Amino acid sequence: MSTPFYVSPQQAMADRAEYARKGIARGRSLVVLQYADGIVFVGENPSRALHKFSEIYDRIGFAAAGKYNEYENLRIGGVRYADLRGYTYDRDDVTARGLANVYAQTLGTIFSSTAEKPYEVELVVAEVGETVEGDQIYRLPHDGSIVDEHGSVAVGGNAELISNYLDQRHQDGMSLSEALQLAVQALSREANGTQREIPAERLEVAVLDRTRPQQRKFKRIVGPQLSRLLEAGGPATEAESAEDAGDAGDGE
């Protein structure tokens, strides 16, 4: 019988973290931004049916990068958690903070248990408030930590580059169309400083819109509405992209 090699806990955790990060990096990145009337989710997704974004509850949305079956599993767990909690208590008692905590505990337990392989996912849980101040965005990396974000957040393989870009340009009180265009520009940036074109039909866009009269604020934006929002304010976009080209040059 062979004696197992000693692996220090630091090394074991570092290996697991690297494994998870590599898995996440294989998928495309996505971004979540606050705008004047709510929160917008934007990502590149060639599939019409397999979503990266979805509704968890009235004011709460979910976004995920990484391995589909793993985040889908977490998403359904979250829907069950929210629906059960709302049914047991009241719809107002379902909060993004509560949900983010449950996800953090779940991811954390899986990450630290040596019996299970770590999940290769990075999640965003967002809740739209009555006002901009009430908006909440939580980012949940693979290891079960939890980050309270404001303004904009990017997850996935290219996240660092994209979130730097967003941090510099995102402003409070942007219109939906401005926020969406900024998100698409951010997503089209490649690690080597070049830009690619993302056609509208490869975009998945959803919003949590606080102005919706319905109790459920989550809405997918597709087809003509999406094209309209992407085209709105043409000249401003051109000026912006000229500026981008300059930035990209500086960056290299």
Partner 1 sequence: MEANTRSTGRLPAAFLTPGSSSFMDFLSEHQPELLPGKRQLPPVQGVVEAPHGTTIVAVTFRGGVILAGDRRATMGNMIAQRDIEKVFPADEYSAVGIAGTAGLAVEMVKLFQLELEHFEKVEGAQLSLEGKANRLSTMIRSNLGMAMQGLAVVPLFAGFDVDRAKGRIFSYDVTGGRSEEQNFAAVGSGSIFARGAMKKLYHADLSESEATTLVVQALYDAADDDSATGGPDVARRIYPIVTVITDEGFRRLTDVESAEIARSVLEKRLEQPDGPRAALL
In the complex with partner 1, the residue whose CB is nearer, 29 or 106, is 106
Compute how many other C-beta atoms are within 10 angstroms of the C-beta atom of residue 212.
16
> Residues binding partner 1: what is the number (CB under 8 A)?
30
In the complex with partner 1, the residue whose CB is nearer, 35 or 81, is 81
Could you report how far apart the first and last alpha carbons of the chain are, in Å?
Answer: 54
CB 154, min distance to partner 1, A:
24
In the complex with partner 1, the residue whose CB is nearer, 35 or 57, is 57
**Quick check: 109 binds partner 1 (CB under 8 A)?**
yes
Range 40-69, binding partner 1 (CB under 8 A): 49, 51, 54-56
**Quick check: 217 binds partner 1 (CB under 8 A)?**
no
**Quick check: 214 binds partner 1 (CB under 8 A)?**
yes
CA–CA separation, 231 and 35 (whole Å):
17
Of the residues 19, 28, 68, 83, which one makes contact with partner 1 according to CB under 8 A: 83
In the complex with partner 1, the residue whose CB is nearer, 77 or 151, is 77
CB 102, min distance to partner 1, A:
6
- Please, are residues 36 and 173 in contact by the beta-carbon 8 Å criterion? yes
Of the residues 10, 88, 168, 211, which one makes contact with partner 1 according to CB under 8 A: 88
Of the residues 28, 86, 188, 244, which one makes contact with partner 1 according to CB under 8 A: 86
Sign, CA torsion 41/196/193/157: positive
Strands of the chain, DSSP E = 30-35, 38-44, 53-57, 60-66, 121-127, 136-140, 147-149, 152-155, 203-209, 218-221
CA–CA separation, 16 and 119 (whole Å):
10
CA–CA separation, 83 and 95 (whole Å):
11
Closest CA to 187 of 103, 63, 48, 61: 63
Q: Which residues bind partner 1 (CB under 8 A)?
A: 49, 51, 54-56, 73-74, 76-81, 83-89, 98, 101-103, 105-106, 108-109, 214, 216
